[in-house]
Amino acid sequence: MSAEIKFMWKAPWRAKVPGRVKICVRRVCLAALPTRVNLKIRKVLMDDGCVFCGNEPESVEHVLLHCPHAKTIWSYNRLGSQALQQGEIGVQDWLDRLASNLSRESFDLVLVLLWNIWKARNELFWNGVVTPPQEIPIKASTWLLEFKKWNMVQPKTKSDGVQKWRKPEEGWFKCSFDGVWDEHGMPLGSLLLQRQ
C-alpha cells in the first residue's frame, strides 16, 4: 500500500471530528470536491476562476491552500501555515506532513478548518455571503470544541445507592406511573395497577 493511500485511509478517519468533515477531507484528497475547475471539466460551468480571488483557476489546492484568502485564514491559525511556507504543494502531501508533525488535537483542528474554508467558499458561491477570514479559524475552533464536548464518552461509574428493579413479593401491587402534558402544560397522567 502506497504512503498516500495509507494516509488517505488512516489519518482522517482516526480524527475526532464529525463524519461530514472526514468525508470532505477524503474528497479533498481525491480532488473530488466540486470546485470550479472540476465543474468546468464536467462542462457544468464555463468559467473556472476562483470564487474568492478571481485571479487563478479554482482547483482544490488553490481554494484551500494557495489562494490569498486561504493563506490569510491559515496565517490566523498558524497550524498549517508552516507547511505551506515550503512552496506549492498538494493538499494530500500537506495533510500528510501535518498528520506526522502535529498533535492529534491540532490535526483535528486543521481538518475542521479545511471544512470551514470550503463551507465559506460555498456560502460565497451559492448565497453571496462573504465570511471574513479572521472569523473562520474562530468558528472552526469553537465548533470543534463544542463537538468534542457533546461527543465525549463519559467513563461509567458504579453507583452504590441505586437499587435494581425486582419483582414484587407475593400479595403486593406493582404501580407504574407515567407523566404526560398537553400543549398548554396541563398534566395528563395515568396510573396502572397490576396485581401480581
Is residue 80 in a domain?
yes
By three-state DSSP, how is residue 176 classified? strand
pLDDT tens readout for residues 128-143? 999 999 999 999 999 9
For residue 167, is it within any domain? no
pLDDT at 99: 86
Q: Which domain holds residue 133?
A: 3-150
Determine, yes or no, domain membership for 189: no
174 lies in a domain? Answer: no
Distance in angstroms (rounded) separating the CA atoms of residues 26 and 8: 7
| pLDDT confidence tier of residue 160, bands split at 50, 70 and 90 | low
Taking CA atoms, 148 is separated from 20, 44, 50, 113, in Å, by 15, 38, 33, 15
**Residue 22 domain-assigned?**
yes
Grade residue 89 by pLDDT with cuts at 50, 70 and 90.
confident
Total domains present in the chain:
1
Q: Angle at the Cα of 56 (from 45 to 107), degrees rounded to 5?
A: 100
Residues 50, 58 contacting (CB under 8 angstroms): yes
Answer yes or no: is 165 within a domain: no
pTM exceeding the 0.85 threshold for the entire prediction: no
For residue 127, what is its C-alpha cell?
448565497
Give per-residue pLDDT as tens, 16-73: 999 999 999 999 988 999 999 999 999 999 999 999 999 999 999 999 999 999 989 9
Q: Is 44 helix (H, G, I), strand (E, B) or coil?
A: coil
Q: Is the pLDDT of residue 193 over 70?
A: no
